[in-house]
């Protein structure tokens, strides 16, 4: 099809346009108008397509209101790139099938972020939401059904300012970069009086919708502009209770390992940036408070947040401190000679002490050691491993360790085999059956080898 019959949308920071082919009910102008409203937060310009311009994405409307989204950027997607003259690329897996405009807008938003971040250096995408109240920026994390989008919509309709829903970027300095995406809400909406305006016919707050989702209009809500960059003042991890009679709600502290896990799971890890994600999350959680928001209804969650932001400074768990600047933490050193560390280190005399009174079994031929370039961070609850962010490839490996795993990892600074390390740990943990220790050592070693953190070594 001739490019002259297509329209191109050029989004800021994207190396090529999103090309719209004709074919939908209402034609290309209607598709362009609706898509621009849903993604209007991202600065863009529209013009007629030309033969000289290569698209990054191509939107192919179908007759039943569905779409095919073809990708032409390796950073953007895992489906076969679209090539204008290649008919094979238009067949599965050459495109993403989007059953509605709402689905198309949501998928395209994620893909645009992936392409943009591939060209901007160390800024990393994160599946989270963020909002501003009384000068404080809160970063909301949580599982797929924790209620981030619904809570953000509830807050925006109550006067909060939004930085974005579902897709944000986080800098190593702990600053949120906003793409300005308004909430996309799953239907039916949860019972909440503040959300009623979204359900009214021809609601000005809704850009598009289908039977499953609706996309809010960023121009009709108090969304901060695309490119807004604000420091995070607190991290809030959402935990929505399905049982309306359940107790235990509130803004609660939890173990540092759980906070770290929830934040790390939200990163879009690609191009070897796992180490950067680990250090960013670690530094952020050292600087700002993190709370688990356990709630039953959106109104309850909003009231808890408003009360927290209005409360006086207090260090007690029952009255968490007001989000604000915390004393700067000294970053753990990171050098090419070895992994970075924070927190207490398991006793290095393990090996020497064991040699004095316990003779390990004879060493087999295969021994293992830490692979160079792995980053290690530890605190009182355990630790995390990550591949160096400069490592090429889309490994995205971040690995969680418990206390015994941290001890084993540091023993692997020197080459050792499973039997040796199991014998050393048996000295320190005499209450644990030796066979169980041996099984655990072997299992952990196999997983770390598969993840690329350990390598086979020669005994010195």
Residues 131 and 90 reside in one and the same domain: no
Residues 110 and 148 reside in one and the same domain: no
Say how many residues make up the chain: 460
Q: Quote the Cα angle for 400-427-372, to 5°.
A: 40
Residues 186 and 297 reside in one and the same domain: yes
pLDDT computed for residue 396 by the predictor: 59
Range of the domain at 436: 349-457
Residues 275 and 165 reside in one and the same domain: yes
Residues 130 and 84 reside in one and the same domain: no
pLDDT computed for residue 327 by the predictor: 29
Output the DSSP codes for 82-151: P-TT-GGGGSTTSSEEESSHHHHHHHHHHHHHHHHHTTSSS-EEEE-EEEEETTEEEEEE--TTS-HHHH
Closest CA to 275 of 388, 353, 174: 388
pTM of model > 0.75: no
pLDDT computed for residue 152 by the predictor: 97
In a domain, 318, yes or no: no
Distance of CA 321 to the CA centre of its chain: 25
Residues 94 and 220 reside in one and the same domain: no
Of 117, 134, 165, at which residue does a domain stop? 117
Please provide residue 135's backbone torsions phi and psi, each rounded to the nearest 5 degrees: 80, 5
In a domain, 394, yes or no: yes
pLDDT computed for residue 270 by the predictor: 60
Residues 132 and 257 reside in one and the same domain: yes
Residues 181 and 279 reside in one and the same domain: yes
Output the DSSP codes for 142-195: --TTS-HHHHHHHHHTTTPEEEESSEEEE-TTSEEEE--PPPEEESSPPS-GGG
Residues 425 and 375 reside in one and the same domain: yes
pLDDT computed for residue 317 by the predictor: 36
Closest CA to 253 of 239, 233, 267: 239
pLDDT computed for residue 8 by the predictor: 94
In a domain, 342, yes or no: no
In a domain, 325, yes or no: no
In a domain, 151, yes or no: yes
In a domain, 240, yes or no: yes
Of 310, 329, 358, at which residue does a domain stop? 310
pLDDT computed for residue 344 by the predictor: 36
Of 282, 310, 338, at which residue does a domain stop? 310
Collapsing DSSP states into helix, strand and coil, what is residue 410?
Answer: helix
In a domain, 319, yes or no: no
Give pLDDT tens digits along the chain (460 positions).
Answer: 556 688 999 999 998 999 998 875 556 888 899 899 999 899 999 999 988 888 888 898 988 889 988 876 555 454 555 555 554 444 444 577 889 999 999 989 988 988 888 787 778 889 899 999 989 999 999 887 889 999 999 999 999 999 999 889 999 899 999 999 999 999 999 999 999 999 999 999 999 999 999 999 999 999 999 999 999 999 999 999 988 777 789 999 988 888 888 888 888 766 556 777 888 888 999 999 999 999 999 999 999 999 999 875 333 333 334 333 332 222 232 222 233 333 333 333 333 333 334 444 444 558 899 988 788 887 666 788 887 655 544 455 778 888 778 878 888 888 888 888 888 888 777 788 888 888 989 999 998 988 888 988 876 5
In a domain, 324, yes or no: no
Residues 89 and 17 reside in one and the same domain: yes
Residues 131 and 160 reside in one and the same domain: yes
3-state SS string over 226-289?
A: CCCEEECCEEEEEEECCCCCCCCCEEECCCHHHHHHHHHCCECCCCCCHHHHHHHHHHHHHHCC
Residues 139 and 279 reside in one and the same domain: yes
How many domains, in total, are found in the chain?
3
What CATH number corresponds to the domain at position 444? 3.90.930.60
Q: Is the bond into 93 cis (omega within 30 degrees of 0)?
A: yes
pLDDT computed for residue 321 by the predictor: 40
């Amino acid at each position: 099809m001739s490019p002259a019959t297509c329209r191109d949308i050029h989004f800021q920071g994207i190396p090529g346009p999103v090309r719209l082919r004709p074919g939908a009910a209402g034609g290309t102008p209607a598709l362009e108008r609706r898509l621009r409203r849903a993604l209007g937060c991202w600065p863009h310009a529209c013009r007629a397509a030309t033969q000289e311009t290569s698209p990054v994405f191509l939107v192919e409307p179908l007759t039943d209101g569905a779409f095919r989204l073809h990708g032409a950027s390796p950073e953007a997607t895992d489906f076969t790139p679209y090539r204008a003259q290649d008919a094979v690329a238009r067949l599965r897996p050459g495109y993403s099938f989007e059953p509605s405009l709402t689905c198309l807008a949501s998928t395209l938003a994620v893909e645009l972020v992936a392409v943009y971040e591939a060209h901007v250096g160390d800024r990393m995408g994160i599946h989270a939401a963020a909002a501003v109240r009384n000068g404080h920026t809160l970063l909301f994390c949580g599982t797929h059904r924790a209620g981030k989008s619904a809570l953000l919509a509830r807050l925006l309709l109550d006067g909060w300012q939004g930085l974005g829903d579902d897709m944000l970027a986080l800098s190593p300095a702990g600053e949120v970069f906003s793409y300005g995406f308004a909430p996309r809400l799953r239907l039916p909406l949860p019972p909440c009086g503040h959300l009623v305006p979204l359900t009214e016919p021809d609601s000005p707050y809704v850009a598009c919708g289908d039977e499953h989702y609706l996309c809010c209009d960023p121009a009709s809500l108090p969304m901060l502009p695309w490119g807004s960059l604000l420091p995070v003042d607190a991290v809030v991890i959402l935990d929505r209770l399905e049982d309306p009679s359940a107790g235990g709600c509130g803004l609660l502290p939890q173990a540092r390992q759980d906070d770290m896990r929830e934040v790390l799971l939200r990163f879009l890890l690609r191009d070897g940036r796992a180490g950067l994600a680990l250090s960013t999350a670690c530094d952020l959680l050292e600087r700002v408070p993190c709370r688990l928001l356990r709630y039953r209804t959106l109104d309850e969650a909003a009231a808890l947040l408003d009360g927290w932001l209005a409360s006086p400074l207090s260090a007690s768990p029952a009255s968490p401190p007001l989000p604000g600047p915390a004393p700067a933490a000294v970053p753990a050193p990171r050098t090419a000679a070895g992994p970075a560390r924070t927190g207490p280190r398991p006793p290095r005399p393990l090996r020497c002490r064991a040699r004095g009174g316990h003779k390990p079994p004879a060493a087999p031929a295969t021994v293992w050691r830490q692979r160079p370039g792995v980053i290690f961070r530890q605190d009182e609850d355990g630790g995390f491993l990550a591949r160096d962010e400069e490592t090429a490839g889309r490994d995205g490996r971040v690995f969680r360790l418990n206390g015994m795993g941290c001890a084993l990892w540091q023993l692997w600074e020197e080459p050792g085999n499973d039997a040796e390390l199991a014998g050393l740990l048996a000295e320190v943990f005499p209450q644990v059956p030796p066979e169980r220790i041996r099984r655990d050592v072997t299992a952990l070693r196999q997983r770390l080898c598969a993840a690329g953190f350990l390598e086979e070594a020669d005994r010195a």
